[in-house]
Each structure stands twice: as C-alpha cells, then as structure tokens.
Amino acid sequence: MRRDGASCTTPTSGSSPSRSGLPDLDRQGQISGKPRDLWGGEARREPNRSPGSRLRHLRPLIGALWAILVAAVPALAGTLDRAGIERHFPTPLVVGERDDKIPVWPILKQEAGSYEVIAYAFESIDFARIPGFGGTPPNLLIALAPDGSFRDAKVLSHHEPVFLEGLGSEPLFAFVEQYVGLSAKRPIRVGRPGARANGAPPATTVDGISMATASTRVVNETMLAAALAVARAKLGFGAGPAGLRVEAKPDFEPLSVAELERRGWIRRFTLSQAQADQAFAGTGVENADPGDEPFTDLRIAYLNVPSIGRNLLGEAAFARLMRELGPGDHAVLVVSSGRWSPIPEDFVLGSIPDRLTIQQGGLAVNARDAAWERRDLAPALPAGPWTIVKITEAAGFDPSASWTLALRLTRERGQILPEKIAREIGTDYALPPELFLRQAPDAGPDWTESWRARGWELGVIAAALGLLVPVLARQRGLVAQARPFSLLRLGFLAFTLGFVGWYAQAQLSIVTVVGLVRAAFHTGDLGFLLYDPPSLLLWAFVIVTLGVWGRGTFCGWLCPFGALQEFAALAAKPLRIRQVAVPPALDRALRQAKYVLLALILGAAALGSPLADSLAEAEPFKTAITLYFLRSLPFVVYALGLILLNLFVYKGFCRYLCPLGASLAVLGRLRLLDWIPRRPECGSPCQLCKVRCRYGAIAPSGRIDYPECFQCMDCVTIIHDPKQCVPQVLARRRARRTAPQRVAAE
C-alpha cells in the first residue's frame, strides 16, 4: 500500500478524485487537522466530630461522586466514514461498500480489468474495547489481508499517559507499525526493547517499549483480539465458537496411559528423520545426519478433561492446575522424546514456545507455557522434556473441535551470514464432543497474565505493606523510639523510591482518577486497572487506610516522589539552607490551590476534554519516577524546580499543588478515627509538636489537621517519649521537687 498521504476515488462513492494529507495524531492522542504522514495506633474521638457529622459535612461531595458513577455511558464506536477511510487508502486503491453486518470496509485494487479485495479495513474499537491507562480504549486502524496478515496498522487515537507529553506518541506509532507483514495466524508477543534485533523470531515478536510495558500489552491485545474477530467473520479463519465457552465435563474415569492412547485422548505423533528431511526438499538443507531413533516422538493431551488430566498429573496436581487456570482457559500437555525436542534446553518457563504452535480453523491460538513446576508425570509417559501450555479464553479456542499442533523446524544454509529456513509439520488432535459442555462466556480482556508475570513484585510490595501496618498501628512500639523509628522510616522511603517507584513503576497518579471519571462517562469499563497489578495493589491498600489514618499513609510512606523530596531535603542541613516560614494566611490560601486544580482536572475529564491530560502534568511523577528524568527540558526543569523548592519550603508541592494528594485529602475526611494521641496540655501551654511539624498540620490549639497530615509520626514519637513530651518532663520535675519535702515531713 502507498503511504504518500493521497486519497482516492471509489467507483461506488460518486465522489471526484481529491488529495489530502493524513490526519495528524497530536500529543493529546486525538486526530487534528494538521496534515502529517502517520505511516512513517491509639485512637481518640473528638466530641464534636462524630462520623455522622463528617458524613453530613461531605454529603454534597458524595452526591457529586455518585452522580458521576451513575452517569449514562455512551457506546464507543469507530469514527471514520468513507471519506476518512479513503484518506488512509489512496489511489490506486479503492474503498468498497461497507459490510452490512459488521463495520468493515473492503479495500480493492484493480487487477487485469477487475477489482480484487486485497484487505479488509476496520477500527479496533468496533471489535476490541480494552481500556488503556487513560480510561479509554486505544483506537487502531487495521487492514487485514485475505491470508490473515496485517497489511497496515496505525494509531487513530489513544489516551495512554506514558506517551502523552511523556515519551511522545512517536514510539507508539513505531510500535504499531511493527505488525505490518506479521500474520494473525500466529501468536504475537511483546518482547523486550530490541528483542528482534537480539534474535527473537521476527514473525512472532514485536519490540516492546521501555517504561510502557502495560500500555503495549493493552495495544497488543487490542490488535490481536480485533483481528481475530474480523478473521472469523470475513476471512474464514478460526470459525470456532465465537460467543461460546466450551468447558470439559467434570466426569472422571480412572484410565491408564495405554488406554488413553488407545482411545486417542493422548495423541502420539512420531516424526522420522526422513520425514523431517522431506519437509526441506529442494532447499539444499534436506540432508541431515541419519539416526536410528525417531527425529521426534511426542505425546499430546488436553488436560482440562478430568479423565485425562487427573490420570496424568495425579489428583492433587490436577486440582492445583485447574485453580491456576482462569475461567475459560485451557491447558495442553506436550511430552517429547527423540533426537529433536520442541522444548529446548534453554526454554524459558512462562514464555511463548517458538518451536510449537496450536492452530485451529487456520488461525494460530495464542498459547503460553504455564510455568508449571517440572515434576514427574505418569510413569508410563516418556521421561523427556515436557511443557504445559496455557490457552486463554480470549483465544476463542474450542477443545471439542479438531485442532492442530504444528512443529516449527529450522535449519541454516550457508557459512557466512547463514540463511534460516523454517518449515512447519503438524498433527491433528480431536476429542469426542460429548466430553464437553457449551455455555456463554463472560466477556472481558485477559489480564491475568500481567498478574502472574509480576507475581514476585506483588509479593515484595505486599510483604512491605504487611510490615508497615503493625509499625504504624503499635504507637508504643517502634514509633515511640525516636532513633530506631527514624532509621526504619528512611529505609522504607528508600524502598518506596527505588523498588515501588523506579523499579515496579507503581507511582500512583491523578491520571488513574482521570481514567475512572472517563470510564464512568464514556466507557463504563474499569478493566484498565487490572493491567497494572502493583499500582492496583497499592490503590487498594491506600483506600483502606484512608478510612483509618487518612491521606498520610500514602503521602508520607508510599509516594515515590514524596520519598525523593524527603531525601533531597536531607541536603538542606549540610548546605545550611534555612526553611522559609510561610505566613499563616498565605499558607492557608496556597493549600486551597491543589483543590482548585483537582476540580479543574476532574471537570475536564468528565467533559471528555484533553485538557485533563495537560492539567495532570502538574504532577512531576511521570518525569521524575516513570521516565527517570529522560524527558524534554521543560518537564525536567519543572520537576527539578519542585525538588529545589523542597529545600526551602518543605514538601511545597505536596502541600500546595498535588492534585492526587487533594483527592486523598477529600476522601480522607471520611476517616473514622482521630488516631494521633493528644494531651490536655497540647496547644496550651505546650506547642512543641506544632513547632516540630514540618507540614504545618497542627493548629496552635493542638488540633491535628488530618487532611494535611503526612503521617511522619514525629508528634507521636514526642508524645510517647518522656524525655521530649513537655507535660511529662514538667511532671517529672515536679515529682523530684516534692519528693524531698515529703521525706522531710515524714
């Protein structure tokens, strides 16, 4: 296809020939009119602040939030009409009549006096509405050739925060262009950046993008799910049970391996060396070293059927496998013996096998190694390499219909810069339909892979949160010991910055709140949250702790940028930088700025305005944490400026500008407990805690301003320390003075 930006005239449209540039995708992820080529502890309640009074105080806010949640959600659909499609497929191509059943446009080319369909063009949002991290699904224009290959692919719109004013949209454009020439008949995975240059099979792998792993997975799933739906409807591929879930019946019959093979429930496939050589006939590499044993000898079994899986794995292992599979998922066992194995020695558990593919209806089924612990199988099976591959529900796999296990054999020709030649040899597998039940599936994207791939990160973060809760809750424990608690706090903040922020990329952001608002108004789908497991785990923890401690747990302990500011503030003392005392009246006014900014962001998001993404850039999180300061100069200067401001006005950004902190402060007003202990002397006459509070969260009266409290616990340490708490110090002094008088009197 041409990529010169010209439009075309179709014989069915009646329009005259015209030329126009392709619409440009601007930084906000929307189509603009500018022409551009897109191809290229202790608790105490204050008597006057009951939970009921708090709820009454926040009733208007709760009503507004409820209105957002119950707002009508318009359906999403493609945006291109005939003229829009014609701009993307210029002459000599011709856009035919749109299909009367599904939103697909045939793309024609004149050959020998007649028009031939060379592709079907469609928008992904009509077939796969998988929300990204901006809360809305990416929309891709895809052209699928009749042989199932991607003839063209480009981004029409997106709201992925990491690309908007971050990495820029260009890396996303280049990522999607990698699909051109690949086949929807084969599973396509997202590899590491530069994966194909480092030896990954170019026919099955696209290069990922650093710092955008979750977003590229959303785009990859969108691309494949939409292509699969069109392939089933228009190309005759994968004519499986779209709209149906096929599951194995729970019936069990004890059977030996020999009986399973006799019934065909275990498929044995033996390939001789001569047969392997014959597949390469005429290539110059058909002659290989002969051997007495088979080239490969495989046993293949579908494990979801209890009479197969339980007999091969044992009852306990089979039950564990079924628990690990998601609803609608499938597991296939492949056991190998012989000279060649489809499971090589360097095979990585959990990866997509390169040497074997499961196919059904002419399409490859997306299958991945289930990372199953390698243990002994049934004694009657060979002791060679084996794998259990998992097929997710999204693949539309029908285990009750015949399917094919295809082996990919590769040989090299030539000594210098050898050429790789690949051939596929397959064997069919089929089970009796009476072993299965058919039922309607639950719609939804496959997000479980992200959770399993990041399981160890989730475990580390969960362990850290499990440590944090008792430390903060037991105020007379470690918190009361100033020096040990200070060291613990610095260590935890280092973990938050290094692991949670820079490594796990789990910096919470107002962008997620924007996505929730957009989902409420435009998509109704919160599935985008499931593609970032560490962040979702932190969100769940933060929401729970909002009802106990308020905003401070996140802002004081779990915010990577907040931790970065605290470490930067440590340099103020050796540099002899004195903190600026903001006048109380100005301080109160500045604290309202973050609430105004929050209202503007949420209002823009509710109206569907891209201004929400621009206003969200008030957060420096993307620059400092997500992108490691590798960003355009204005954003880097802004982030560094806030860190520099922090040396003079402690956590000035958090106190005055942070929209995420504002949202947590608002929700934190629903807190049920006033958990910071107070004494009658607090505020009058003692002002020690107020003077020591660097956040200005303690009023002269001694009252704690919880929406502004960052849970540093300094005041808690003071009030439990008899050497620091002024009322306790004075009480001890009085006791020492009165003791001699009592002795003399006696």
Distance in angstroms (rounded) separating the CA atoms of residues 51 and 547: 11
CB neighbour list of residue 664: distance below 8 Å, 6 or more residues apart: 542, 546, 550, 551, 554, 555
Answer positive or negative: Cα dihedral of 473, 474, 478, 481: positive
Q: Is the pLDDT of residue 402 over 80?
A: yes
Looking at residue 51, its amino acid is: P
Per-residue confidence (pLDDT) for residue 123, from 0 to 100: 93
Per-residue confidence (pLDDT) for residue 641, from 0 to 100: 95
Chain segment 585-611, per-residue pLDDT in tens: 999 999 999 999 999 999 988 887 878
CB neighbour list of residue 741: distance below 8 Å, 6 or more residues apart: none
Answer positive or negative: Cα dihedral of 124, 125, 128, 131: positive
Q: How many CB atoms lie within 10 A of CB 612?
A: 27
- Confidence class for position 263, pLDDT limits 50, 70, 90: very high
Chain segment 130-146, per-residue pLDDT in tens: 777 666 788 999 999 88
Q: Is the pLDDT of residue 346 over 60?
A: yes
Largest separation between any pair of C-alpha atoms in the chain: 125
Flag the least confident range among 88-102, 120-134, 635-649, 679-693.
Answer: 120-134
Calculate mean pLDDT across residues 573-594. 90
The H or E element containing residue 451 is helix 448-453
**pLDDT top residue among 199 and 276:** 276
Mean pLDDT, rounded, of the chain: 80
Most confident of 13-17, 53-57, 190-194: 190-194
Q: Is the pLDDT of residue 42 over 60?
A: no
Give CA 430 to chain center in angstroms. 36
Chain segment 222-255, per-residue pLDDT in tens: 888 888 888 877 776 654 444 467 889 999 999 9
Q: What is the DSSP letter of 618?
A: G
**Which residue's structure tokens are 């942070």?**
658
| CA angle centred on 660, ends 657 and 662, rounded to 5° | 65
Per-residue confidence (pLDDT) for residue 743, from 0 to 100: 54
CB neighbour list of residue 607: distance below 8 Å, 6 or more residues apart: none
Token pair, residue 389, equals 């591959």
What 364-369 contacts at long range (C-beta under 8 Å, 24+ apart), as own/partner pairs, is: 364/183, 364/184, 364/185, 364/186, 364/187, 365/187, 365/391, 365/395, 365/397, 365/403, 366/187, 366/224, 366/391, 366/392, 366/394, 366/395, 367/187, 367/332, 367/391, 367/395, 368/449
Per-residue confidence (pLDDT) for residue 449, from 0 to 100: 64
DSSP string, 625-648: IISTT-S-HHHHHHHHHHHHHHHH
Q: Which residues pair with 142 in a beta bridge?
A: 122, 153
Distances (CA, A) of 49 to 288, 304, 580, 682, 699: 85, 57, 33, 18, 16
Contact 321, 309 (CB under 8 A): yes
pTM for the whole structure: 0.51
Most confident of 55-69, 342-356, 394-408: 394-408
Looking at residue 268, its amino acid is: R
564 CB-contact burial (10 Å; exposed 0-12 / middle 13-18 / buried 19+):
buried
Q: Is the pLDDT of residue 538 over 90?
A: yes
Looking at residue 370, its amino acid is: A
Per-residue confidence (pLDDT) for residue 71, from 0 to 100: 37
Token pair, residue 543, equals 């929401």
Distance in angstroms (rounded) separating the CA atoms of residues 25 and 555: 35
Contact 526, 516 (CB under 8 A): yes
